[in-house]
Structure 1
Amino acid sequence: MRQALRAEWTKTRTVSGPLWLLLGTVALTVALSACACSVVSCGSAGCGDMTRLSLVGVQLGQAPVVVLAVLVVAGEYGTGMIRTTLTAMPRRATVLAVKAVTLTGIVAAAGTVAVLGSLASGRLLLPGRAFMAAPGHPPLSPTEGPTLRAALGSVLYLTLIALLSLGVATVVRDSAAGIGIVLGLLYLLPVVSATIGDPHWQRLLQRIGPMDAGLAVQATTDIHSLPIGPWPGLGVTAGWATAALLTGGLTLRIRDT
């Protein structure tokens, strides 16, 4: 297992694509968060959830994570490199596990940088938008319980999205199809939910969608009004990732023998 991990890590770090995608994750996450924090202002209804606003960039930063995770598997199928990989590591479960562990490590590292950068931008920009101690909104502090949970949960969310994408890519074996399926799950389900007039079905889609449910972990205020709680919501995303990986592992074992 150790040699397999070393081989996978070598493949990942010796090509430029993963590095640029990870940098893109950080840049897009921080940039969107900074933009959101720079234009918002308190209205008559109050200031809202300052932590969640600071982490809004995760919604965009997850896109490069999806591309990276899909290419980890589908890229090898596209070049034929998968034959060499499966010859070197005949145990299919080990192949997928090694890719999952390597992907988890690099996405968690980039996600941590992106989340901390987003919180830093919120701390710098939001006080100028009337988010300050006077109206009951002290500056953001990553060490506070709710903010710490939102930050940790956001990193876990990005990691789970990477694993979901890895599982889907293992099943479809095509980069374009894999990216399209995962991005559709993430971005189209919320759109469909918003267009549904029935509140029951709208709330149901928000509870089962991997993005809507998973990003509930970022909420620090009015949690009782959410369609699903922060940790249960992240559990829904984990369920999607687990199902995708199990399906991918089974497909890899049955088909690629």
Structure 2
Amino acid sequence: MSRLLRAEWTKLRTAPGTGWLLAAVVLVTAGVGAAVAAALADPPYDVARTALAGIVAGQAVVAILAVVSVGGEYGTGMIRTTLTAMPRRGGVLAAKAVLLCGLTLAAGSVAVLGSLAAARLLLPGGEALSLADGPVLRAAAGSVLYLALAGLLSLGVAVAVRDPAVAAGTVLGLLYLPALLTFLVRDAGWQRLLYRVSPMNAGLTVQVTEPAGLPLGPWEGLAVLAVWAAGALGAGGLLLRRRDA
């Protein structure tokens, strides 16, 4: 496994867009969060969730990072060289997942800390934001995990689809369309169902400091996103083993 990790790390580290995309995760997430914080007037609102609103935008950059990390290899044909040198296809996917997850956790941590710092300065009531507070800590840590799981979901889709543009469109559709439908559907039963199965709505429940009355608890919601990510990686891994590069 160490050989696979070294090889995948070399490819990821030397890819021209990796550093820029990781920086964009931080800047977009913290920037959008700061803009939302600056635009709001006095409460009531969930201070922690508002401070971390940039996660909704930052996940799109994470998705692009995951798609590019795989799609570039298929686009150039380098995937054939990779699988010839390292025929354990499941191991190759696992190495990609470990590295993507690690980089996303690192960038996501910086982005979340930046978002909280900006909200403390700009958001009315932001002085209440403290990682010593249990719900705020859960919202912050859960947001970092959310970005990592969104990255793994994107990686699985990218491996299954192979075409970067189609993979990016598929991932963004999975993340944003069910969440949008939740607001468009009038029926309360359908709204509840869509909320429970939507990877974004369910996953971001972890940010809510007082989740009473929501269809899912904070960690249950994050588990829904984890199931989506596991399903995408499982499908991608199966297709990677069964078809030619």
Deviation string, structure 1 residues 39-70 (Cα, Å, up to 9, x no partner): 1122xxx4221000000000001111000101
The aligned runs of 1:90-109 (5 Å cut-off) are 90-109=87-106
Aligned to 1:135: none
Amino acid at match of 2:20: W
Gaps of 5+ in 2: none
Deviation string, structure 1 residues 55-105 (Cα, Å, up to 9, x no partner): 000000111100010111121111100001001110110010000001011
Q: Rg: which structure is higher? A: 1
SS in 1 for 2:17: helix
- The ranges of structure 1 where at least 4 consecutive aligned residues each deviate by more than 4 angstroms after the TM superposition are none
SS in 2 for 1:225: coil
Matched, 1:204 2:201: no
Give the Å deviation of 1:246. 0.5
Distance 1:244 1:143 in 2: 35
Aligned to 2:218: 230
The question of whether the paired residues in 2 share the 8 Å contact of 1:171 and 1:248 is answered with: yes
Aligned length: 245
SS in 2 for 1:85: helix
The question of whether the paired residues in 2 share the 8 Å contact of 1:119 and 1:142 is answered with: no
Distance 1:94 1:34 in 2: 40
The question of whether the paired residues in 2 share the 8 Å contact of 1:41 and 1:47 is answered with: no
Distance 1:170 1:85 in 2: 14
Select which of 150, 170, 178 maps to 1:189: 178
Distance 1:98 1:256 in 2: 20
TM-score after normalising by structure 2: 0.97
Aligned to 1:31: 31
Matched, 1:256 2:233: no
Select which of 199, 213, 229 maps to 1:241: 229
Gaps of 5+ in 1: 133-137
Give the Å deviation of 1:225. 1.7
Amino acid at match of 1:178: A
SS in 1 for 2:28: helix
RMSD: 1.1
Identity of aligned residues (%): 57
